Amino acid sequence: MRWILVIALLPCRSVLGQAPLPSPFDDKGARIVDLAWPLNEKSPFWPGDNYTPFRLETIATLKEDGVSSKAFSMPEHLGTHIDAPNHFENDRPGVDAIPAERLFGPGVVIDLAVKCEMDPDAMLTVADIADWEKSHGAIPRGAIVLLQTGWGRHATNPARYQNRDVMGKMHFPGFSAEAAEWLVREREVRGIGLDTLSIDRGLSTKFEVHHVINKAGRYGLENVAHLDQLPATGFGLIVAPIKIEGGTGGPTRIWAVVPKGPGEPAR
């Protein structure tokens, strides 16, 4: 439970030479960035035959029943959500069985927005990671690596977010399988995520990145919001998925605990 203690309880010791991470309870030293989109009928989801939009209905009202209550229905993989290790691999943990300590960790943002603006089919490569590490230092072991593609600005526009061509193929960025393998093997990441529909790029048909990550017992985070509000490194992440027994994923709140800059007011 090391990172629960580091992020939530202590002033945070440095990790592999990284600056100490802030505590979410430190009003003067930290700010919280919410990385989840609100759930509603426009929430993005994978365009499969059995996938349906988010639905919210009233089942009781204060006027009629003395209490207000609603019911919702949705596929697991809608809006900001987690892909559990059993999403693409048998005999891997469901979302309820992901160890709690793996849902906390140092955060990293790799900004690939310029590359993705020029090529919507772009993928994060091992060379891109090497370039990032030249500027920011080695990715901490046990980090959660987030890829900013710039695609999040289209999240409320389903047609633009999917970016289909005349043949119906989707075009949006993602990780490469080689980069995912490297992050698991060389940096022992706890999970990866990004601001698109899938950790695999839109053109993928074999979903190699999902298989790499899930086979290694790691998770993916998709449709992550507000990555442009985060620094490249030096912050903590808290990942809080809904706990569905045997679930392959589910809606997820994600918070970044970011050091405040000079002059930022206390909460």
Residue 50 domain-assigned? no
Write down the pTM of the prediction: 0.90
Residue 4 domain-assigned? no
Residue 64 domain-assigned? no
* Domain range for 238: 30-38+75-258
Query: At CA 5, angle to CA 4 and CA 7, rounded to 5?
Result: 70
SS3 56: strand
Residue 69 domain-assigned? no
How large is the average pLDDT for residues 203-215? 98
Query: Phi, psi (5° rounding) for residue 219?
Result: -120, 160
Q: Which of 238, 188, 244 lies closest to 218 in space, CA to CA?
A: 188
- What is the rounded average pLDDT for all residues in the chain? 92
- Round to whole Å and give the CA distance between 7 and 219: 20
Residue 119 domain-assigned? yes
Residue 49 domain-assigned? no
Residue 48: its pLDDT value, please?
A: 83
Q: Report the sign of the C-alpha dihedral through residues 154, 78, 178, 238, in that order.
A: positive
- pLDDT by residue (tens digit) across 168-179? 999 999 999 999
Asked if the model's pLDDT at residue 121 lies above 80, the reply is: yes
Least confident of 18-27, 110-119, 127-136, 223-232: 18-27
Residue 134 domain-assigned? yes
How large is the angle between the packed helices 208-215 and 177-187, nearest 10 degrees? 20
Could you give the number of structural domains in the chain?
A: 1
Asked if the model's pLDDT at residue 152 lies above 90, the reply is: yes
Which residues are the active-site residues?
87
- pLDDT by residue (tens digit) across 183-198? 999 999 999 999 999 9
What are the distances in angstroms from CA 120 to CA 48, 123, 126? 21, 9, 18
Residue 138 belongs to a domain with what CATH number?
A: 3.50.30.50
Q: How far is CA 165 from the centre of its chain?
A: 26
How large is the average pLDDT for residues 93-97? 98
How large is the average pLDDT for residues 88-115? 98
Residue 8: its pLDDT value, please?
A: 44
Residue 117: its pLDDT value, please?
A: 97
Residue 19: its pLDDT value, please?
A: 61
Residue 69: its pLDDT value, please?
A: 98
> Could you tell me which residue, 127 or 28, shows the higher pLDDT?
127
How large is the average pLDDT for residues 197-203? 98
Asked if the model's pLDDT at residue 243 lies above 50, the reply is: yes
How large is the average pLDDT for residues 41-50? 90
Residue 121 domain-assigned? yes
